[in-house]
Structure 1
Amino acid sequence: MAVDRLLPTDEARELIQLTRDIAAKTLDPIVDDHEKREQYPDGVFATLGEAGLLSLPYPEEWGGGGQPYEVYLQVLEELAASWAAVAVAASVHGLACYPVSAFGTDEQKSRWLPDMLGGATIGAYSLSEPQAGSDAAALTCRAVAEGDHYVVDGAKAWITHGGVADFYNLFARTGEGSKGISCFLVDKDTPNLTFGKPEEKMGLHAIPTTSAHYDGAHVDADRLIGAEGQGLQIAFSALDSGRLGIAAVAVGIAQAALDDAVAYAQERSTFGRKIIDHQGLGFVLADMAAAVDSARATYLDAARRRDAGLPYSRNASVAKLIATDAAMKVTTDAVQVFGGYGYTRDFRVERYMRDAKVTQIFEGTNQIQRLVISRSLAG
């Protein structure tokens, strides 16, 4: 069921309709087979890029769409309702464009942003390490300046689109302490950069998640984004936006699960009545709908604060927490509505449930979101 959206402009309404058309014609016919085979969706991101859906919140002068963040997030939600793995990768690509857009020099922007925003190159975010996930200040991957380049050694982990993406935001140690992290834009073909075997994940099967290994890799000095030591500032400011992207993806998954559950409940009958007419199950569906609607309202509130130039870090954490917990609950209830059939791969609800789980983990676990929220209250 298409969500009746409140959108600020006719252009925004056209973008949502365009996204729905692409989802129906390009994503929906292949998603089940690609997820089952764990097959990368070749050509899909080129299609999204050509349609302008990968660049929506970025400035038009560099090839972006110049759209409010509230519109961009609703596009992500529409993509996620069709194919969560593609929506996550699109959100991560948007996150990967942020450091150059917000902290790059004009020369760096003109050199890289047009291809990034046009979808000619697809990006990935490389912050986590095997022993440093939520604790970003504990990074050990090191970049040592030598003349006109840096020599990078170390490992990164949990990279969405790893090994496939064209460029990587690398956060590496150039000094000591929390102010000793710097941000680099690394090309996938950098010598002595290799990628590990894709992780065997519970969900999001069509998009690889890998580790990366730097063994004396040379990264040109002009690929330093911002100043040395500014890396954590860049990473954390990017993550506020990234958390809203994941919140929108989670709502898309939940909406799809709700839609499938309602459709099934209207078709399936027990004791001579459609199961949706049994109060016990009708109330379950009502709670699912309330969770989806409230989660959507939460991420839109945070996005509108961002668009208005207001502080929104706490709101982003609230949205990520509320939306991803809602997605897990709604998808679990959707499986229950389907009964035994929901536990089989004959229906999509089991995939929605598997895909929803990771939204509570990446872009900062929901325990980290609670920490961010509680610290903002204490401050």
Structure 2
Amino acid sequence: MAMDYFTDERHESLRAEVREFAEKEVRPHVARMETDRQVEFELSRAIARRGWIGVTIPREYGGLGLGHLAKTVIVEELSRVSGAMGAVAQASQLGVAKVLHFGSAAQRHKWLPRFASGESLPTIAVTEPESGGHVLGMAGTARREGDEYVLDGRKWFVGNSHIGDVHGVVFRTGPGSRGLSAFLVESDRPGFRTGTLGSQSGLHGFSFGEIVFENCRIPAANRLGRESQGLDVAYSSSTLYGRLNLAAVALGIHVAIVEDTVRFAESRMLYGKPLSHLSNIALKLGEMQSRLMTAKLAAYHASHLLDHGKACDAELMNAKLINTEYTLDSARNAMEIHAARGLQAEFHIERYLRDATHLYPPAGTSDVQRLRLGQVAAGTYGKQWSVELSGLAGWAWSELAQREAQAEADAERSMRATLLSIPLAG
């Protein structure tokens, strides 16, 4: 279900590359990942080594420079085979965002090439056990001592918690909303350790656990942006990257749900005909297909706007809302069509449902998205992060813009050549 009016040959070539990798390198391990429920270190590193974590990183830093739509395609195709591996890719992108948008020149030159090559996996860590989604309620502290900061606290529900090499963390440096600051913390720093993995019901193979800071000292040069800019780091990463990334994971799972359910309905015989020929089943399949088309349109449209520096906070929220809700709805329809077989692991439906459920809370539940969209409708929504950071983000997709301009110029030259070749009537 390619959307040619959004994607070009580079996107579709990338899609084919990721799909081949997912089918050959990931799918053979999915059953084991479900059984073992262990962090999948090797596959995660293999994904990073393909350079896909650097898809939004400019070429001058060793990245692909292809932008957010290409990122959506990568995460979608990985998630079609394994939601867990799609989650690995999307969580790393959150770690990229903080350095792209708030890193100093020195931090960008140090870390972006490492992210792009897969040498280092980044994370972002904001949520704390006691405060949950209430960012301003965080209690972890970072106190300045000379040329160092000393960090103390715990972060929970950290994507890639146990495989990350450098963690972007937000801690309290003072009171109130301007009392939060962001830092880069390498995983080999004394005073840093990983905590519990948690007991998630889905996305097995993905680490979504705890990291702990106990008198952890880091150089002051590891601070991201200005002191007191931590809230901006947290909110912008969630808005610009988190919502769209999770939409892409949901989209890939949704594609798999529809593909597997259609395959089952065509092969399962009932009353002497394929299940798909029964009108009530055909109606459910049609509804699932309609949801998938709408969800894909929402995700691709938001990606396209973000790549072109347009105001699109609302579209990013809607992409997350539509994709998570519609994927869960289609998973329930798939369960109805499969009946008891949907509970059996070999049919995958129960895995899709469990994995999709894990996408509901991060970056704001559906009600959070609805609340923000209500503010957009009423004209009371606050800072537009897609506008605020459009200048900073511009060079991340400059190659894409240059390629589009070149394509337009080539098309215009071709049209002129064609017109000149047409004999004049005389």
**Aligned CA distance change for structure 1 residues 330 and 192 (closer, same or farther; 3 Å):** same
The alpha-carbon deviation at position 28 of structure 1 amounts to 0.9
Larger radius of gyration: 2
Structure 1 partner of 2:2: 4
Alpha-carbon distance in structure 2 between the residues aligned to 1:346 and 1:17: 25
* Paired residues of 2:48 and 2:121 also in contact (CA < 8 A): no
Q: Structure 1, residues 153-202: CA drift from partner, whole Å, max 9, x if none? A: 11111112212211111010111111111110111112122222211111
Alignment of 1:93-108 (within 5 A): 93-108=92-107
2:22 corresponds to 1:32: no
Alpha-carbon distance in structure 1 between the residues aligned to 2:188 and 2:51: 26
The alpha-carbon deviation at position 220 of structure 1 amounts to 1.4
Paired amino acid for 2:206: I
Alpha-carbon distance in structure 1 between the residues aligned to 2:295 and 2:153: 38
Structure 2 partner of 1:196: 195
Alignment of 1:8-87 (within 5 A): 8-87=7-86
* Paired residues of 1:45 and 1:119 also in contact (CA < 8 A): no
Q: Structure 1, residues 246-294: CA drift from partner, whole Å, max 9, x if none? A: 0011011011011100000000011111110000011001101111110
Alpha-carbon distance in structure 2 between the residues aligned to 1:71 and 1:346: 31
Alpha-carbon distance in structure 2 between the residues aligned to 1:9 and 1:271: 45
Q: Structure 1, residues 69-109: CA drift from partner, whole Å, max 9, x if none? A: 11220121111001111111110101101111111111111
* Paired residues of 1:134 and 1:368 also in contact (CA < 8 A): no
Structure 1 partner of 2:252: 252
Q: Structure 2: which 5+ runs fail to align?
A: 381-426
TM-score scaled by structure 1? 0.96
Alignment of 1:1-379 (within 5 A): 3-6=1-4, 8-240=7-239, 241-378=241-378, 379=380
Alpha-carbon distance in structure 2 between the residues aligned to 1:257 and 1:341: 14
* Paired residues of 1:93 and 1:122 also in contact (CA < 8 A): yes
* Paired residues of 2:39 and 2:205 also in contact (CA < 8 A): yes
RMSD: 1.3
Q: Structure 1, residues 101-144: CA drift from partner, whole Å, max 9, x if none? A: 11111111111111112111112220101122221121111100
* Paired residues of 2:151 and 2:215 also in contact (CA < 8 A): yes
For the residue of structure 2 that corresponds to 1:364, the secondary structure is coil
Alpha-carbon distance in structure 2 between the residues aligned to 1:248 and 1:363: 13
For the residue of structure 1 that corresponds to 2:345, the secondary structure is coil
Alpha-carbon distance in structure 1 between the residues aligned to 2:181 and 2:44: 29
Paired amino acid for 1:101: L
Alpha-carbon distance in structure 1 between the residues aligned to 2:344 and 2:153: 41
Percent identical: 28
Paired amino acid for 2:234: A
Q: How many residues align?
A: 377
* Paired residues of 1:158 and 1:211 also in contact (CA < 8 A): yes
Q: Structure 1, residues 273-316: CA drift from partner, whole Å, max 9, x if none? A: 11100000110011011111101101111111111211111111
The list of structure 1 runs, each at least 4 consecutive aligned residues, that deviate by more than 6 angstroms after superposition, is: none
For the residue of structure 2 that corresponds to 1:175, the secondary structure is coil
For the residue of structure 1 that corresponds to 2:116, the secondary structure is helix
Alpha-carbon distance in structure 1 between the residues aligned to 2:337 and 2:72: 28
Structure 1 partner of 2:407: none
Paired amino acid for 1:4: A
Report the more deviating stretch, 217-226 or 361-370.
Answer: 361-370
Alpha-carbon distance in structure 2 between the residues aligned to 1:9 and 1:327: 26
* Paired residues of 1:288 and 1:330 also in contact (CA < 8 A): yes
The alpha-carbon deviation at position 66 of structure 1 amounts to 0.8
Q: Which has the higher helix share?
A: 2
Alpha-carbon distance in structure 2 between the residues aligned to 1:51 and 1:198: 26
Q: Structure 1: which 5+ runs fail to align?
A: none
Q: Structure 1, residues 309-349: CA drift from partner, whole Å, max 9, x if none? A: 11111111111011000111111211221111111222211
Paired amino acid for 1:268: R
Q: Structure 1, residues 20-71: CA drift from partner, whole Å, max 9, x if none? A: 1101110111112112211333332333233221111221111111113112
